[in-house]
């Protein structure tokens, strides 16, 4: 099978190599899936470039420890083989999911992963749509609803509104009849207005943390600035929710939150993602035309290094989706 391998950190187009390797065999509760679509995520950028440095502490200081390091953390495909103790699916089932709690490796034509990492794909959802949902939609939903405790008619701000989480975030926020401001830049701003943002801010022109506007809830998809700056634009009992970002700012939040409680009713939180937990709810919203998938692409399998660079440059609108070689897969299934 074909797969993308990383042996060294660096620019995606230089260090990601397309190789031929043996198909993995499913063990115990694993299933083998023929990959029909995958996505680009922050993890893929970080593990490819080795930035921020904290990723190197996990995967290797100078280069990835594993000889066969295949990135990719979201997948949609078809089950083609079962492990000896796998009972959740049968061969031929269409599945999808965020696999990061069990492993990585979706930048390949086949993957073996624990069956718990996957859910049945709805029949009315394409593979490209399905793979765009698990990670971004769960972060948006859990950030706004579970951690942020969003309420009707609130004023919301989504920092990094033009990406995958932002594209789901605006749709979820609008279910509560909220007024939503999105922060991003470039061509994304026009698309964000189309998606339903009431207001958009170009961060290259305006620093929203210096504005007189205040918000009930901020969903931060970037966490790329000092967290103290957000306090000014939070209402007296407002909540700031980060889905992740710069490690230094996340550490700042860890130490800052207990101190904040001593003199303010404003709160700061970070989403501890529960992978795939609310997929049924998102599927229901999709079925009832209350959300749709905003896809950048889909691009072909050979475009993965380019697509990771596109992600790193912040040029994508919505979720970057990759369609994996359909011609070879169709032959394998016959």
Specify which residues 300 forms β-bridges with: 323
Tell me what percent of the residues of the chain surpass a pLDDT of 90.
81
Q: Collect all residues with Cβ–Cβ distance below 8 Å to 52 and sequence separation of at least 6.
A: 46, 246, 247
Q: Please give the structure tokens belonging to residue 228.
A: 């103290």
Q: Is the pLDDT of residue 79 over 60?
A: yes
Q: Is the pLDDT of residue 65 over 60?
A: yes
| Average pLDDT over every residue of 12-29 | 96
What does the pLDDT read at residue 105? 96
Q: Do domains 2-133+293-333 and 136-270 have the same CATH topology?
A: no
Q: Is the pLDDT of residue 226 over 90?
A: no
The model's pLDDT over 236-246, given as tens digits with 9 standing for 90+, comes to 999 999 997 66
What does the pLDDT read at residue 334? 47
What does the pLDDT read at residue 250? 67
Place 54 in a pLDDT band, splitting at 50, 70 and 90.
confident
* Lowest-confidence region among 101-115, 192-206, 285-299, 312-326: 312-326
Q: Please give the structure tokens belonging to residue 138.
A: 């769960």
Domain locations in the chain?
2-133+293-333, 136-270
Place 256 in a pLDDT band, splitting at 50, 70 and 90.
confident
Q: Please give the structure tokens belonging to residue 334.
A: 């016959």
What does the pLDDT read at residue 143? 98
Q: Is the pLDDT of residue 77 over 50?
A: yes
Query: Residue 9 burial (CB < 10 Å; 0-12/13-18/19+)?
Result: buried
Domain boundaries 2-133+293-333, corresponding CATH code: 3.90.180.10
CATH superfamily of 136-270: NAD(P)-binding Rossmann-like Domain (3.40.50.720)
Under 8 Å between Cβ of 121 and 34: no
| Average pLDDT over every residue of 15-44 | 96
């Amino acid at each position: 099978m074909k797969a993308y391998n990383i042996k060294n950190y660096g620019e995606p187009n230089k260090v990601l190599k397309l190789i031929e390797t043996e198909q993995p065999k499913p063990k115990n509760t694993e299933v083998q899936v023929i990959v029909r679509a995958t996505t680009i995520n922050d993890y893929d950028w970080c593990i490819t470039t080795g930035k921020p440095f904290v990723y190197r502490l996990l995967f290797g200081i100078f280069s990835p420890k594993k000889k066969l390091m295949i990135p990719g953390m979201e997948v949609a495909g078809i089950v083609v083989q079962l492990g000896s103790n796998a009972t959740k699916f049968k061969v031929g089932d269409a599945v999808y999911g965020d696999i990061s709690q069990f492993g990585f490796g979706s930048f390949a034509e086949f993957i073996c992963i624990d069956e718990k990492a996957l859910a049945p794909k709805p029949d009315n959802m394409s593979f490209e749509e399905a793979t765009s949902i698990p990670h971004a939609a769960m972060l948006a939903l859990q950030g706004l609803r579970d951690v942020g405790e969003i309420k009707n008619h609130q004023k919301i701000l989504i920092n990094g509104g033009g990406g995958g989480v932002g594209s789901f975030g605006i749709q979820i926020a609008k279910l509560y009849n909220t007024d939503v401001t999105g922060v991003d830049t470039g061509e994304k701003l026009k698309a964000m207005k189309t998606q339903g943002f009431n207001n958009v801010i170009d961060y290259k022109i305006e620093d929203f943390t210096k504005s007189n506007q205040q918000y009930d809830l901020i969903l931060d998809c970037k966490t790329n600035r000092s967290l103290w700056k957000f306090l000014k634009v939070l209402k007296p009992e407002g909540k700031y929710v980060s889905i992740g970002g710069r490690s230094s700012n996340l550490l700042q939040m860890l130490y800052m939150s207990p101190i904040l409680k001593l003199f303010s009713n404003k709160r700061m939180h970070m989403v501890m993602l529960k992978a795939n937990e609310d997929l049924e709810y998102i599927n229901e919203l999709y079925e009832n035309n209350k959300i749709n998938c905003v896809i950048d692409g889909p691009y072909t399998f050979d475009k993965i290094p380019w697509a990771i660079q596109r992600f790193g440059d912040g040029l994508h609108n919505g979720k970057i989706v990759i369609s994996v070689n359909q011609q070879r897969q169709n032959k394998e299934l016959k």
